[in-house]
Chains A and B, each alone.
Chain A
Amino acid sequence: MKKIEAIIREEKLDAVKGALEEKGLVGLTVSEVSGRGEQKGLPLLGRAGEERVDFLPKLKLEIICHDKDCSQVVETICEAARTGAIGDGKIFILPVEDVVRVRTGEKGEVALK
């Protein structure tokens, strides 16, 4: 099993969610995060003049999937989240040791679905 952590633009959530759902991948966890990449933030306007905001709001998606689905999930997120401009985000892929379903106590791959 793999954990896919994807940092994406806030406005791309619906596109990514929809694209994943079309391929039958429904479950995911979303959190609001702030971060910075190479572009070091964005200038916003203050009371007078510009202020640099160096942490930008992004969304972090966390998806746990079977090994065989991993590349499809990553490709789907990439395609749906891409604008081509700096700030589209990054995807991290981590190994998952085990999964436990709290309600039943089931472990391993069966606890995923």
Chain B
Amino acid sequence: MSVNSGDTAWILVSSALVMLMTPGLALFYGGMVRRKNVIHTIMMSFAVLALVSLLWVLYGYSLGFGPDVGNIIGNLEFVGLSGVGLAPSGYASTVPHLAFMMFQAMFAIITVALITGAVVERIKFSALLVFGALWMTLIYAPVAHWVWGGGWLGNLGILDFAGGTVVHINAGVSALALVMLLRSRKGFLKVPMEPHNTPMVMLGAALLWFGWFGFNAGSSLAADGLAANAFAATNTAAAAAAFTWILLSWRQRRPTLIGAATGAVAGLVAITPAAGFVIPIAGIPIGIGAAVVCYYALLFMKTKLHFDDSLDVFAVHGVGGIFGALATGIFAAASLTDGGLLTGNGMQFLKQVVGVVAVGGFAFVGSWLIGKLVDVTIGLRVSETEETVGLDISEHSERAYGGF
């Protein structure tokens, strides 16, 4: 195992691309809230970037990717990055172990940040930090280990190229559990909660799309043909889903920018587990399917269940992630894998179902318990007055658009 400079350059750049997704996500979410909660919404993602970066190098990487204990979790051998050095590891034989570790760090960061979209405009900042730290430790690290770190789901043969299960189902389902504890925003469905800056949403979505090339094509862990395949599939799915969502909103009344942005993200979510396992053209049905499924999931959550998953984390990442995981089992190409349902490998589809159920179930129950623990100790929610005034002033003593 020796370091290849091309592969290493690509993984370092990919890590930086994925890092940019978290501030991109902050803008994507920040534009969708009311102007009294912009700072708080953006701050949650940005603080998670700092917090999880630290936890990851201290012990998170070791739990996720340290030598296996019972197919469940990594041991503590890599605590403080001991033994994680300049030479390659078993995970990526041509890039420094440190580069692989940083690439994985960015995934852990954005996964925690994704959850914040469901709880905006009402969660206490302190509660989010405590929840985020516990969640990264008790939910993210084990699930990353199950799928990528030598754990039982990876050994079973489930396909998750870049984190459809580890990142998106995990975050989406956890968001669902947290909303059940936190409940709706005051005035939800009674007073208008119009996105305060739609161009900001678009800018965030564009940064996510851009960073996603690192997320998916970087997951090849080499600068090779597979990376190019993932790159092409990713862009194709994002485009198909964005365009489909434009048409869906047009069918309802008018083509909306926020719909186009949301559609792109739904397509990117769904292609994540598949990017390196399907041919690029499969990005079209996967993207179209993701947009349709997420669009109706979102409508159903809001208008039928009256469930305040505020920025649609479950509808887009949870449902989109589940769709993507199953679609991977359907469209997996025989040239890149053992094939999927379309090429007669029904077993792969069943494995994907096992992955969805196992990670979804674990994330839901675990997140509910962690959320409950935080709620009974420090409390999850701000006071009613603080919520009314807005969390920018009450939690951070700052405002997004001040000055005269």
Contacts and interface: CB of A to CB of B under 8 A. Distances in A.
A64 B142 CA distance: 63
Contacts of B397: 43-45
Contacts of B393: 44
B396 interface: yes
Nearest to B191: A14
Contact of B402 (A11, A14, A44): A44
B36 A11 contact: yes
A44 B397 CA distance: 5
* Binding site secondary structure of chain B: loop
B218 interface: no
B404 A34 contact: yes
Nearest to A54: B404
A34 B401 CA distance: 12
Interface residues of A, number: 10
A91 interface: no
Contacts, number: 20
A53 B399 CA distance: 11
A11 B389 CA distance: 6
A14 B390 CA distance: 14
A21 to B, nearest CB: 12
Interface string B323-357: 00000000000000000000000000000000000
A44 B389 CA distance: 14
A1 B402 CA distance: 36
Interface in A1-36: 10-11, 14, 34
Contacts of B36: 10-11
A11 B34 CA distance: 11
A11 B404 contact: no
B398 interface: yes
The 4 closest A-B pairs by CB, nearest first: A45-B397, A11-B388, A14-B191, A55-B404
Given A11-B388, A45-B397, 18 more contacts: A10-B36, A11-B36, A11-B389, A11-B390, A14-B187, A14-B191, A34-B404, A43-B397, A44-B393, A44-B397, A44-B398, A44-B399, A44-B402, A45-B396, A45-B398, A53-B402, A55-B404, A83-B385
14 contacts: A10-B36, A11-B36, A11-B388, A11-B389, A11-B390, A34-B404, A43-B397, A44-B397, A44-B398, A44-B399, A44-B402, A45-B397, A55-B404, A83-B385
